[in-house]
Amino acid sequence: MRVHVVGAGLAGLSAAVALAARGIPVELSEAAAQAGGRCRSYHDAQLGMVIDNGNHLVLSGNAAVGRYLRAIGAEDRLTGPPRPEFHFRDLRGGEAWTIRPNEGPLPWWVLHPGRRVPGTQPRDYLALAALTRRHPGKRIGEVLACRGPLWDRLLRPFLVAALNTAPEEGSADLAGAVLRETLARGGRASLPRIATPSLAAAFVDPALERLRQAGATVRMGRRLRGLELAEGRVTALVFADGTVPLAPGDALVLAVPPWVARDLLPGLTAPDSFRAILNAHFRIAPPPGATEMVGLIGGTAEWVFAFPDRLSVTVSAADHLLDMEIDTLTARLWHDVAVTHGLAGPPPPCRIVKEKRATFAATPGQEARRPGARTAWRNLFLAGDWIATGLPATIEGALRAGETAAALALSPAHPLARQPALAEAAP
């Protein structure tokens, strides 16, 4: 048996690592010149430094992230504060505050004015409990009153980052799934974690090395042009450099973006509406003692990250910024960064990275279009943050999708294959 994994983003890497760890011959093919998909790092000639394509935050409650990093020997590549603390600043009035959830699941922190959002009362936090319940097919705006200090100063920034969609129109079920696995479990599951020193060093390079050690074949710059299908299975992969037949026992994990999957599998129902993410990297060392991550209210920037050699900005659901003139956009983002960290002067050298189709729109309508990992072809399985993981398009969702595709691709006799598929499991 051999498993072909097409797509070396995090879902494909997750599937390949899980299969190789169990002694299955794996051939990993990626159309791009490097692995990682949207979670990639590269040397930017304009800035003269290595930067990440985007600033990706995970939380300590992300179980698949932990499993994956242990499997590739990179548990030490995530860093963050020792306590669950989230710093915010309102650029309109200059007010700053820090949310400090307590470690356990009983949320006594909402009773303490110094730990909760300024201007809120303990009863306001019942909105969190309401959102953690199931609300099939409903928008967040149908479940919560999307107004008030708690919404403006915590829930909205948290949810737009998690869903990459205007939260008023976002899926209440997807938002609830994120909350149930993080904030609702207490501070121990809500510790913010950032890849160090880069996304590639944490999630990509150790995985590729582990695959090579296991004897897997890894091929970059290899584009899949088509699939040959017959008698209910994939019989051959048509790459740009030639056709590869599949033996009767072989399997395919297709870990490509949804628009590519639809081209390869006509008739596939998959998300078809997407939202952008914008990141900006300023080549300037942060001031001494700078907070590692600050959420901003009332500005253009939404989150500011302080790395040792740069200050970086992330804006989710950023479609409204894509056509803005670069100098204007740079100036607006730098203004927010400068106010946050008490800096002066013109913008330092900057690289703006626009991901136009960063994630599917996390609305109820798009959620209904997400397919399961199984397909109509018995040896073809889907992986990606866009399939039915029960989570929005996140690193955690991508890694879970890879785990499930690997389980389905294995022999039924293998213990991993007896785990339920994502389409069948409760999120």
- Asked, for residue 91, whether it belongs to a domain, the answer is no
Q: Are residues 139 and 260 in the same domain?
A: no
Q: Are residues 210 and 259 in the same domain?
A: yes
List CB contacts of 75: < 8 A, sequence separation 6 or more: 66, 69
Q: Are residues 186 and 205 in the same domain?
A: no
Supply the pLDDT for residue 418: 40
Give ∠ CA 233-237-242 in degrees, rounded to 5.
Answer: 155
Supply the pLDDT for residue 296: 98
Q: Are residues 402 and 262 in the same domain?
A: yes
Q: Are residues 204 and 267 in the same domain?
A: yes
- Asked, for residue 72, whether it belongs to a domain, the answer is no
Q: Are residues 268 and 368 in the same domain?
A: yes
Q: Are residues 265 and 369 in the same domain?
A: yes
Sign of CA dihedral 327, 333, 335, 341: negative
- Asked, for residue 63, whether it belongs to a domain, the answer is no
Supply the pLDDT for residue 411: 62
CATH code of the domain covering residue 409: 3.50.50.60
Q: Are residues 371 and 407 in the same domain?
A: yes
- Asked, for residue 125, whether it belongs to a domain, the answer is yes
Strands (E), 270-400: 274-282, 293-297, 303-307, 310-316, 350-360, 380-382
Supply the pLDDT for residue 415: 37
Taking the model in full, what pTM does it have? 0.94
Supply the pLDDT for residue 412: 55
Strand partners, 58: 193
- Asked, for residue 88, whether it belongs to a domain, the answer is no
- Asked, for residue 323, whether it belongs to a domain, the answer is no
- Asked, for residue 359, whether it belongs to a domain, the answer is no
Q: Are residues 152 and 231 in the same domain?
A: no
Q: Are residues 171 and 240 in the same domain?
A: no
Domain range enclosing 161: 103-111+118-190
Supply the pLDDT for residue 425: 32
Tokens encoding 281: 């990297």
Indicate the residue among 166, 190, 214 that finishes a domain. Answer: 190
Sign of CA dihedral 36, 39, 43, 45: positive
Write out residues in the chain with pLDDT < 70, as ranges: 411-427
Supply the pLDDT for residue 407: 96
- Cα 7 from Cα 386, distance rounded (Å): 14
- Cα 14 from Cα 405, distance rounded (Å): 9
- The rounded percent of the chain whose pLDDT value lies above 90 is 95
- Asked, for residue 288, whether it belongs to a domain, the answer is no
Tell me the CB-side half-sphere exposure of residue 221, using CA atoms within 13 A.
1
Supply the pLDDT for residue 230: 96
Q: Count the domains in the chain.
A: 2
Q: Are residues 164 and 203 in the same domain?
A: no
Indicate the residue among 163, 190, 217 that finishes a domain. Answer: 190
Supply the pLDDT for residue 197: 93
Indicate the residue among 170, 190, 210 that finishes a domain. Answer: 190
Q: Are residues 213 and 150 in the same domain?
A: no
